[in-house]
Amino acid sequence: MSMSFTKLIIIIGLSVVSSFLFAQQDFEGLGETSLTLNHKINSKYKINFSVRSRYFMYQDSNFNFENRQLDVVHFSTLNLDYNHSLGLGIQYRFREVIDGGTNELRLTQQFNYTKTNGAMRFGHRLRFEQRILEDVTILRSRYRFALDIPLKGEKLNGGELYLICAMEALLSHSKVNQPELDHRTTSHLGWLLSEALKLQLGLEYRFEAINNSTEQKLFILSGLILRV
Protein backbone atom coordinates (compact mmCIF):
# COMPACT_ATOMS: atom_id res chain seq x y z
CA MET A 1 0.00 0.00 0.00
CA SER A 2 2.81 2.41 0.81
CA MET A 3 4.36 1.99 -2.66
CA SER A 4 1.02 2.69 -4.39
CA PHE A 5 0.48 5.69 -2.12
CA THR A 6 3.85 7.16 -3.03
CA LYS A 7 3.40 6.50 -6.76
CA LEU A 8 0.01 8.24 -6.74
CA ILE A 9 1.45 11.41 -5.19
CA ILE A 10 4.39 11.42 -7.62
CA ILE A 11 2.07 11.06 -10.62
CA ILE A 12 -0.20 13.88 -9.40
CA GLY A 13 2.78 16.10 -8.67
CA LEU A 14 4.41 15.57 -12.05
CA SER A 15 1.13 16.18 -13.86
CA VAL A 16 0.54 19.52 -12.15
CA VAL A 17 4.16 20.60 -12.55
CA SER A 18 4.21 19.78 -16.26
CA SER A 19 1.00 21.77 -16.78
CA PHE A 20 2.41 24.97 -15.36
CA LEU A 21 6.17 24.81 -15.25
CA PHE A 22 7.27 25.78 -18.71
CA ALA A 23 4.44 28.24 -19.38
CA GLN A 24 5.02 30.53 -16.39
CA GLN A 25 7.62 33.26 -16.20
CA ASP A 26 6.64 34.14 -12.63
CA PHE A 27 6.46 30.53 -11.42
CA GLU A 28 8.40 28.94 -8.56
CA GLY A 29 8.32 25.38 -7.28
CA LEU A 30 9.01 24.70 -3.61
CA GLY A 31 8.85 21.85 -1.13
CA GLU A 32 7.82 21.91 2.50
CA THR A 33 8.42 19.07 4.98
CA SER A 34 6.94 19.11 8.48
CA LEU A 35 6.81 17.18 11.72
CA THR A 36 3.86 17.88 14.05
CA LEU A 37 3.29 16.67 17.61
CA ASN A 38 -0.27 16.83 18.96
CA HIS A 39 -1.12 16.49 22.65
CA LYS A 40 -4.60 16.51 24.17
CA ILE A 41 -4.58 18.05 27.65
CA ASN A 42 -8.27 17.33 28.31
CA SER A 43 -11.57 17.16 26.41
CA LYS A 44 -11.54 20.92 25.75
CA TYR A 45 -7.88 21.90 25.43
CA LYS A 46 -5.12 20.61 23.14
CA ILE A 47 -1.72 21.82 22.01
CA ASN A 48 0.59 21.08 19.12
CA PHE A 49 4.18 21.80 18.18
CA SER A 50 5.55 21.62 14.66
CA VAL A 51 8.78 22.15 12.76
CA ARG A 52 8.62 22.97 9.05
CA SER A 53 11.44 23.17 6.52
CA ARG A 54 10.88 25.00 3.23
CA TYR A 55 13.17 24.78 0.20
CA PHE A 56 13.24 25.83 -3.44
CA MET A 57 13.17 23.19 -6.16
CA TYR A 58 12.51 25.37 -9.21
CA GLN A 59 13.19 29.09 -9.60
CA ASP A 60 14.48 31.50 -12.26
CA SER A 61 13.53 28.94 -14.94
CA ASN A 62 15.94 26.36 -13.49
CA PHE A 63 15.67 23.26 -11.34
CA ASN A 64 17.76 23.55 -8.21
CA PHE A 65 17.63 22.76 -4.50
CA GLU A 66 18.07 25.65 -2.09
CA ASN A 67 17.02 25.85 1.57
CA ARG A 68 14.85 28.89 2.28
CA GLN A 69 13.61 28.83 5.88
CA LEU A 70 12.85 26.88 9.02
CA ASP A 71 9.66 27.46 11.04
CA VAL A 72 9.06 26.49 14.67
CA VAL A 73 5.38 26.71 15.62
CA HIS A 74 3.25 26.28 18.75
CA PHE A 75 -0.55 26.31 18.71
CA SER A 76 -3.12 26.00 21.50
CA THR A 77 -6.78 25.19 20.81
CA LEU A 78 -9.77 25.54 23.14
CA ASN A 79 -12.95 23.71 22.16
CA LEU A 80 -16.03 25.83 22.95
CA ASP A 81 -18.36 22.97 22.01
CA TYR A 82 -18.44 20.12 19.51
CA ASN A 83 -18.36 22.43 16.47
CA HIS A 84 -16.58 25.62 17.57
CA SER A 85 -13.06 26.32 18.80
CA LEU A 86 -10.66 29.18 19.48
CA GLY A 87 -6.91 29.04 18.96
CA LEU A 88 -3.75 31.01 19.70
CA GLY A 89 -0.43 30.45 17.96
CA ILE A 90 3.14 31.68 18.01
CA GLN A 91 5.68 30.99 15.29
CA TYR A 92 9.30 31.91 14.68
CA ARG A 93 10.77 31.79 11.19
CA PHE A 94 14.53 31.42 10.74
CA ARG A 95 15.81 32.86 7.46
CA GLU A 96 18.83 35.02 8.20
CA VAL A 97 21.22 32.13 8.80
CA ILE A 98 19.73 30.08 5.93
CA ASP A 99 19.33 32.38 2.93
CA GLY A 100 20.09 35.83 4.34
CA GLY A 101 16.43 36.86 4.55
CA THR A 102 14.65 38.46 7.49
CA ASN A 103 13.63 36.41 10.52
CA GLU A 104 9.99 36.66 11.54
CA LEU A 105 7.91 36.39 14.69
CA ARG A 106 4.27 35.57 13.98
CA LEU A 107 1.29 35.73 16.35
CA THR A 108 -2.01 34.07 15.35
CA GLN A 109 -5.59 34.20 16.61
CA GLN A 110 -8.07 31.70 15.20
CA PHE A 111 -11.79 30.84 15.17
CA ASN A 112 -12.81 27.49 13.69
CA TYR A 113 -16.23 26.00 12.90
CA THR A 114 -16.70 22.41 11.71
CA LYS A 115 -19.76 20.43 10.67
CA THR A 116 -20.10 16.75 9.80
CA ASN A 117 -22.39 15.40 7.11
CA GLY A 118 -22.15 11.63 6.94
CA ALA A 119 -18.53 10.71 6.32
CA MET A 120 -17.64 14.22 5.16
CA ARG A 121 -16.49 17.00 7.49
CA PHE A 122 -16.58 20.68 6.51
CA GLY A 123 -14.54 23.38 8.19
CA HIS A 124 -14.56 27.17 8.20
CA ARG A 125 -11.45 28.83 9.65
CA LEU A 126 -10.85 32.53 10.28
CA ARG A 127 -7.37 33.67 11.27
CA PHE A 128 -5.78 37.00 12.16
CA GLU A 129 -1.99 37.22 12.10
CA GLN A 130 0.63 39.75 13.08
CA ARG A 131 3.85 39.11 11.14
CA ILE A 132 6.61 40.99 12.95
CA LEU A 133 9.73 41.48 10.82
CA GLU A 134 12.80 43.64 11.40
CA ASP A 135 11.53 46.71 9.52
CA VAL A 136 7.78 46.21 9.25
CA THR A 137 4.77 44.54 10.89
CA ILE A 138 2.32 42.97 8.46
CA LEU A 139 -1.30 42.40 9.50
CA ARG A 140 -2.94 39.51 7.70
CA SER A 141 -6.50 38.15 7.65
CA ARG A 142 -7.20 34.64 6.37
CA TYR A 143 -10.36 32.66 5.59
CA ARG A 144 -10.21 28.97 4.71
CA PHE A 145 -12.90 26.51 3.67
CA ALA A 146 -11.88 22.85 3.92
CA LEU A 147 -13.37 19.40 3.73
CA ASP A 148 -11.98 16.01 4.63
CA ILE A 149 -13.31 12.54 4.00
CA PRO A 150 -12.13 8.94 4.48
CA LEU A 151 -11.65 7.14 1.19
CA LYS A 152 -13.15 3.92 2.51
CA GLY A 153 -16.39 3.77 4.48
CA GLU A 154 -17.75 6.45 6.79
CA LYS A 155 -15.11 6.17 9.52
CA LEU A 156 -11.34 6.34 9.24
CA ASN A 157 -9.62 3.21 10.53
CA GLY A 158 -5.98 2.26 10.89
CA GLY A 159 -4.18 1.66 7.59
CA GLU A 160 -6.77 3.61 5.56
CA LEU A 161 -6.46 6.71 3.38
CA TYR A 162 -8.24 10.04 3.65
CA LEU A 163 -8.48 13.19 1.54
CA ILE A 164 -8.31 16.84 2.62
CA CYS A 165 -9.10 19.69 0.21
CA ALA A 166 -9.07 23.40 1.03
CA MET A 167 -9.31 26.86 -0.50
CA GLU A 168 -8.07 29.95 1.32
CA ALA A 169 -8.10 33.72 0.75
CA LEU A 170 -5.56 36.01 2.45
CA LEU A 171 -5.41 39.81 2.76
CA SER A 172 -2.20 41.48 4.01
CA HIS A 173 -1.52 45.13 4.73
CA SER A 174 1.07 47.29 6.47
CA LYS A 175 2.04 50.94 6.82
CA VAL A 176 4.76 50.72 4.17
CA ASN A 177 3.22 48.41 1.55
CA GLN A 178 -0.05 48.47 -0.34
CA PRO A 179 -2.61 45.74 0.49
CA GLU A 180 -1.91 42.32 -1.01
CA LEU A 181 -4.46 39.64 -1.86
CA ASP A 182 -3.46 35.96 -2.10
CA HIS A 183 -5.27 32.72 -2.88
CA ARG A 184 -4.28 29.14 -2.06
CA THR A 185 -5.71 25.80 -3.16
CA THR A 186 -4.51 22.74 -1.26
CA SER A 187 -5.08 19.01 -1.49
CA HIS A 188 -3.64 16.39 0.90
CA LEU A 189 -3.76 12.63 0.66
CA GLY A 190 -3.34 11.20 4.14
CA TRP A 191 -2.60 7.76 5.49
CA LEU A 192 -3.54 6.76 9.04
CA LEU A 193 -0.59 4.52 9.83
CA SER A 194 -1.79 3.90 13.40
CA GLU A 195 -4.03 5.56 15.96
CA ALA A 196 -1.15 7.87 16.86
CA LEU A 197 0.59 8.45 13.52
CA LYS A 198 -0.45 9.99 10.20
CA LEU A 199 1.48 10.56 6.98
CA GLN A 200 0.30 13.34 4.67
CA LEU A 201 1.48 14.18 1.15
CA GLY A 202 -0.02 16.93 -0.92
CA LEU A 203 0.10 19.87 -3.28
CA GLU A 204 -0.64 23.54 -2.77
CA TYR A 205 -0.94 26.12 -5.56
CA ARG A 206 -0.60 29.77 -4.59
CA PHE A 207 -1.49 32.97 -6.40
CA GLU A 208 0.30 35.73 -4.51
CA ALA A 209 -0.27 39.49 -4.84
CA ILE A 210 -3.22 38.97 -7.21
CA ASN A 211 -4.12 42.67 -7.05
CA ASN A 212 -0.56 43.78 -7.86
CA SER A 213 1.80 41.65 -9.96
CA THR A 214 0.69 38.04 -9.57
CA GLU A 215 3.26 35.43 -8.63
CA GLN A 216 2.47 31.71 -8.82
CA LYS A 217 3.99 29.04 -6.61
CA LEU A 218 3.51 25.28 -6.42
CA PHE A 219 4.34 23.58 -3.12
CA ILE A 220 4.93 19.86 -2.77
CA LEU A 221 4.02 19.08 0.83
CA SER A 222 5.00 16.19 3.07
CA GLY A 223 4.49 15.71 6.76
CA LEU A 224 4.22 13.37 9.71
CA ILE A 225 1.63 14.01 12.44
CA LEU A 226 2.22 12.24 15.75
CA ARG A 227 -0.19 12.17 18.67
CA VAL A 228 1.63 12.00 21.99
Q: What is the pLDDT of residues 159-188, one digit of tens each?
A: 999 999 999 999 999 998 899 999 999 999
Q: What is the model's pLDDT at position 154?
A: 83
172 phi, psi to nearest 5 deg = -115, 145
Q: What is the model's pLDDT at position 153?
A: 84
Mean pLDDT over each residue of the chain, to the nearest integer: 90
Beta bridge partners of 71: 52, 93
Q: Which of 147, 109, 149, 145 is nearest to 124 (CA)?
A: 145
Whether 115 shows a pLDDT value over 90: the answer reads: yes
Domain boundaries, the chain: 28-80+94-101
Span 55-90, pLDDT tens digits: 999 998 899 999 999 999 999 999 999 999 999 999
Q: Which of 109, 112, 110, 108 is nearest to 82 (CA)?
A: 112
**Cα–Cα separations (whole angstroms), residue 99 to 59, 82, 114, 117, 137:** 14, 43, 38, 45, 21
What single-letter amino acid sits at 18?
S
Span 15-54, pLDDT tens digits: 555 444 444 557 999 999 999 999 999 999 999 999 999 9
Q: What is the model's pLDDT at position 1?
A: 43
